Structure 1
Amino acid sequence: MSFNNLLDLYKVDRSQVSFKHVESKELLPFANNIEKLRLEIQKKYDQDEELLEVLNLLKTIFFRLVSSISPYNQVINEGIRTQLNDRFRRSKSSYPDLFKNVLTPIGISYKQVMEAPANYLYEHLFTLINKKAAVGLKIALISKRALSSDEKDMLNSEIKTYVKMKYYTENSFRKDNETFDEVIYLGNPNYFHDYVKNTFKGKSLTFISYDIFTNSIHPKKVFADIDQKGVHSTIFQHVTIGKAKTNKTEMTIDEKESIISAVNKVVEQQRNQQGTQDLVEACIVYLENERFLFAPKDSKIRIFSPNEKEDFINQKSFKDVEEDEYIVIRNERDTKLIAEIADTDILKRNAEKYRNMQHEWKRKLRYNVEKKGLKKVSDILMKKHKIKTASMASVRSWCNEDSIYPRELDKILKVFKYDSKEIKTICEVMRNIQNAHRTAGRLISRKLMNEISNSIVMALQEKGFYTFESKEFNGASFNIERVVSIDHSTHLIGQHNLMKPMSIYD
């Protein structure tokens, strides 16, 4: 954090807030038709679950369109288009009247948006920037979702080269203390959090929004309850707020329902798969750019602290992780890489002999599973041999290479007719392999962390996340992600879905 930047923030003695509306004759009917569907579902279809899924998908498409500066026909990916076509086909047979009267007009208006010649928000944006342009002018462009490299390149190619542009997500802008001549928000004030309404980091602030939405700020009396005693807020004392722009539709930019729907969908999938995989108690961590992940409640999380001079990375318990911190996530479990390092750098000449012993007892387990079935093997181990941990999920896990030293391995080996001496030897070897894997994992992590520097801070500010690829370990990489918020309610989640960023649009 720069102290000089903090001082500059308090030097901004005058701010002019203005609101710009972008007209889109294609988006307006699309928005109105979606709102009509919402009302129909509410009034006549008793909040039908199938129709609500259609509505949420349409809102997702709408949110993406109004928040992007890419050409409209490039905003919606093939996966979402396929989902929409499938939903419409099902609705046509299940709800013929609704399809004819409501869904068909939505389809027509959606097609018109896709056929629009450009993106009106983008055109308005670069025209505004070039109109304000002056040599050395510092401009901050803030978006809720990080602009892609293509979007930034497209915009940079249109604006005058002597303008100093910086890109931020809302959360990264809030954490940065730099001030600007011009601050431009892509969206109306209600699209962002209250911070944008009471902290003004520039001489001129502009909110650009489609005319579908109301675009305005109404100063609040922050200390209204004690104003009678002579205490008052000075937040807006030197701020001039321009004329509000009223909306043309009842729709609001509220992505909360879409986010909740996406998260609930994954949680429901996990619930339906119980008994087929190991489930872990996990909480939901919301990330930048409409993404989230499930973090184990009792896990240790790596935190990236860019303001530290030396130790950029440290660990803390998940319960101590806070909003706005940067967490470090391995993109894959890198099991193969860990095994290779464990064999070559730690186990060395014992590696081949140890691996053969591991493969041999697993081969016997897999043979029984293939012959008798997963459930039968689980029942035999639990009921006949009193192996308490031998659930179907555990047996499936033991068959995989990832599982090295199950808690009741000695009992499992006894079932497969190993004598006491062999059992003792195999257990000791599996313990050695497991420890070698842990050591290898720490070694890889330490070397990866040593390659990182605080020079990535600019990329983090622009995107809210950063993908780091190791030079030493070919293919090994991890993401640094900003925590937007945390829901500490507990869900049972499959291990393969833990610490894995997911998009609400998937």
Structure 2
Amino acid sequence: MLGNKKVNLELVNHFFSAKNKVYFVQIEVTLVEELVAYVKNLKEEVKRYYDGDDRLQHEVDEFVSGIQRMLGSIKSYSDYLEEIDSLLIKFFTYTMHPTYKNLQELYVKPIINNLKELRNQNYNGYKLKIEELCKEFNFLEETFVITRGRSEEELLIISEDNIRVYRDKDFVKLGITAKRLFFIGTPSFFDKKFSEMFFADETFFIGYSCFENSIKPTYSFANLISNKLLINTVYKNVDLASGHRGINYYTVIKQPLEQYDEEKILKRMEEGQGKQKGNIQARIVYISNNNFTFLPVDQSVTIIEKENFKIQQTTLKNLNIGDLLLFRTNSGSTLIREVADEILGHQASELRSQQEKWKKRLRSSIKKQGIDTVVRVLQHNYKISYVNAMNLSYWISPFCIKPDALEKMLEALKFEEEEKKEILAATGKIFAAHIKAGHKISKSLINEINGNMEEAIGEKGYYKFESKIFEGASFNIEEIKAISKQNIMVSENDILKVFKK
């Protein structure tokens, strides 16, 4: 099915051609809805009056992430809250500081009292509603429960029968046909595809009544023609029941309070570098736990696909919020070079020496003539139209192996014909070895990633592990929270390192 290399076309055709009915079901759990209201008011207060308090915003975001997971869990409220006890204590301990006295009285203490009551509730609203629906309409055959995160409970017991529980992405991978699906949460709680493609004859989105629970069909070319003329055929053969109005799940719960002050980060980095000038074009990428890293604009980075955990290379322009970055902890790309040198064997030193010849001569030219003059000469005399100061800075860095303009560069740098051939041959071999090294590392690491990685990322926003195959190497898997729009120049030593904001 989706995400797999082999696609069951018959199944795909079935999903798009079969008639589907989509229902939106409300559950009312007073204590949970009171908690959501308290969280909403807390976030609004912190945003309004504590916008400069980065630490408080971070603590609130961590606390809310725990509540967010409860809103998509089928565990009893008492069991779930017991599991996140340390997170709750951490938040309440921090906010009990005298600095936040007003916050305590109006918002924190009501939340504490609410959670104390919820800790005594040995049931779950989703379970009760599913049991009610199954009994009323005799739903059991080919019926499944779909959750946003991985559930420890693989079966829901309804009377004496069982209903299988699947995580959303696992269900899609398995390509199962179903008569009925119960989604634990509203459409906005799940990936957009579940609001556009329906995997059962009947789909039920079950959500707390405080949240908006509906699907609003989008209309193609709505800005050009009347909305009455439906061009988008996604909802053909789909009967959408009337939804329910409510508060927006994303803005109230999911959207973080933490803001990103790029000017402050850049000033700090400049002070730390002193007089040293940056020579890598990069962007700031914000990750979890108040951290950030720098990703090079012109160099590929390693990511993990969320759908199938496949490791692959991509460029910065193709990254999105929520993507998972994989990189060696505070060591940039050195592992790829190490493995590439193993592939090159005894030739590695000589080949790298050949490659360094043109970089050394280019650095010397820049130092003597100035970078602007070198750019002008390369543009006008050697027709390298796209060259600029940032390109040159990247080309002389250790990250660059074989720029597209290398042959013309060698001509501009006055290398003899025989030397040019040797340098081009050497860089070609190094480039090929780096590609092989990337594949080798990816293939090895995918077998080392722990099965609990996704849960750790969902809870902490990152996952860290030490490699057994590449001795002494440890790796970070970080979820992208935001990406700066501005290209900046930073030291090559700061690329792919994790910094505290």
What is the TM-score normalised by the length of structure 2? 0.56
Q: Which amino acid aligns with 2:154?
A: L
- SS of the equivalent of 1:63 reads helix
Q: What code does the residue aligned with 2:14 have?
A: D
| 1:296 counterpart residue number | 296
1:82 corresponds to 2:119: no
Match of 1:11 in 2: 17
Q: Name the CA distance, whole Å, in 2 between partners of 1:246 and 1:275.
A: 51
Deviations 1:233-285 (A, max 9, x none): 554453333343454xx5634378744727x2799567535443697654466
State the Cα distance separating 1:86 from its structure 2 match.
1.4
1:228–1:479 Cα change, 3 Å: closer
Q: How far apart are the structure 2 equivalents of 1:437 and 1:233? A: 49
Partners of 2:266 and 2:299 in 1: CA distance: 19
Segment drifting more, 176-185 vs 279-288? 279-288
Question: Pairwise mapping of residues 28-39 of structure 1 onto structure 2 (< 5 A)?
Answer: 28-38=33-43
> Structure 1 residues 335, 55: CA separation in 2 closer, same or farther (over 3 Å shift)?
closer
AA aligned to 1:447 is: K
Change over 3 Å in CA distance of 1:105–1:443 after alignment to 2:
same
Q: After superposition, what is the alpha-carbon deviation per residue over 1:50-74, rounded to whole angstroms, capped at 9, x for unaligned? A: 7756654554443233234453325
Equivalent residues, number: 405
Q: CA 1:134–1:222 in structure 2 vs 1: closer, same or farther (change >3 Å)?
A: same
Structure 1 residues 312-461: aligned runs within 5 Å: 315-319=313-317, 321=318, 329-332=326-329, 333=331, 346=345, 445-449=438-442
Aligned pair in 2 of structure 1 residues 181, 448: CA closer, same or farther (>3 Å)?
farther
Residue deviations 1:104-163, cap 9 Å, x none? 2233224434x244462563487479767655x2747252xx42xxx2x32347589986
What is the match of residue 127 of structure 2? 123
**2:251 aligned to which of 249, 254, 263:** 254
> 2:24 corresponds to which letter in structure 1?
F
* 1:182-193 to 2 correspondences below 5 Å: 182-192=180-190
Q: Is the 8 A contact 1:34 1:58 kept in 2?
A: no
Q: Which amino acid aligns with 1:9?
A: F
In 1, Cα distance between the equivalents of 2:496 and 2:253? 22
Which residue of 2 is the match for residue 241 of structure 1? Answer: 240
* Distance (whole Å) between structure 1 residues aligned to residue 197 and residue 250 of structure 2: 22
Cα distance in 2, alignment partners of residues 41 and 477 from structure 1: 37
Greater per-residue helix proportion: 1
Once the two structures are TM-superposed, the CA of residue 446 in structure 1 deviates from its matched residue by: 4.3
Shift of 1:208: 1.9
Corresponding residue for residue 276 of structure 1: 272
Structural RMSD (CA): 6.1
d(CA) in 2 for partners of 1:287 and 1:484? 5
CA distance in 2, matches of 1:489, 1:265: 12
Equivalent-residue separation in structure 1 for 2:207 and 2:292 (angstroms) = 26
Query: What secondary structure sits across from 1:20 in the alignment?
Result: strand
Structure 2 CA distance for partners of 1:118 and 1:441, relative to 1, 3 Å: farther
CA distance in 1, matches of 2:334, 2:440: 16
Give 1:203 shift. 1.1
Matched, 1:141 2:146: yes
CA distance change for structure 1 residues 469 and 228 in 2, over 3 Å: closer, same or farther? closer
User: Are the aligned partners of 2:145 and 2:163 in contact in 1 as well (CA < 8 Å)?
Assistant: no
Change (3 A) 1:328 1:230: closer
Does structure 2 conserve the Cα–Cα contact (< 8 Å) formed by 1:281 and 1:492? yes
What TM-score, normalized to structure 1? 0.56
Alignment of 1:58-69 (within 5 A): 58-69=63-74
* Alpha-carbon displacement from aligned partner over 1:299-350 (angstroms, at most 9, x marks no partner): 123578999xxxx87755433x3669987734544969976996999469x9
* Superposition deviation, residue 220 in structure 1: 5.1
Partner of 2:204: 206
Q: Which amino acid is the alignment partner of residue 180 of structure 2?
A: E
2:117 paired residue number: 112
1:21 matched residue in structure 2? 26
- The residue number in structure 1 matching 2:3 is none
| SS state at 1:299 partner | coil
Whole-Å separation in 1 of the counterparts to 2:454 and 2:210: 29
1:73 matched to 2:71: no
- Deviation of 1:16 after TM superposition, in Å, equals 1.4
Deviation at 1:81, TM superposition (A): 3.8
Which residue is equivalent to 2:153?
Answer: 154
What are the ranges of 5 or more consecutive residues in structure 1 without an aligned counterpart? 351-385, 389-403, 407-435
How far is 1:297 from its partner?
A: 1.5
Residues 467 and 478, structure 1, Cα contact 8 Å, conserved in 2: yes
User: Residue by residue, what CA displacement relative to the aligned partner does 1:393-451 show, whole Å, maximum 9, x if unpaired?
Assistant: xxxxxxxxxxx999xxxxxxxxxxxxxxxxxxxxxxxxxxxxx9999976654434455
- Cα distance in 1 for residues equivalent to 2:40 and 2:322: 37
Specify whether residues 471 and 88 from structure 1 end up closer, same or farther in structure 2 by C-alpha distance, changes over 3 A only.
Answer: closer
Compared CA separation, residues 476 and 243, structure 1 to 2 (3 A):
same
Structure 1 residues 101 and 302: CA distance shift in structure 2, 3 A: closer
Q: Secondary structure at the match of 1:276?
A: helix
Letter of the 2:268 counterpart: N
Aligned partners of 1:154, 1:199: CA distance in 2, in Å?
26
Distance 1:483 1:40 in 2: 26
1:39–1:344 Cα change, 3 Å: closer
Distance 2:109 2:37 in 1: 13
* Matching residue of 1:216: 214
Could you tell me how far apart the structure 1 residues matched to 2:90 and 2:470 are? Answer: 38
User: Does the aligned pair in 2 maintain the 1:8–1:179 contact within 8 Å?
Assistant: no
Instruction: Report the alpha carbon displacement of residue 182 of structure 1 after superposing the two structures with TM.
Output: 3.1
In 2, Cα distance between equivalents of 1:237 and 1:444? 47
Amino acid at match of 2:296: P
Asked if the contact 1:167–1:461 (Cα under 8 Å) also holds between the matched residues in 2, the reply is no
Cα 1:24–1:140 shift into 2, 3 Å: closer
Would you say the 8 A contact 1:138–1:163 is kept in 2? Answer: yes
Q: What runs of 5+ residues in structure 2 fail to find an aligned partner?
A: 1-5, 350-367, 371-396, 400-428
Q: 1:347 to 1:26 in 2, by over 3 A?
A: farther
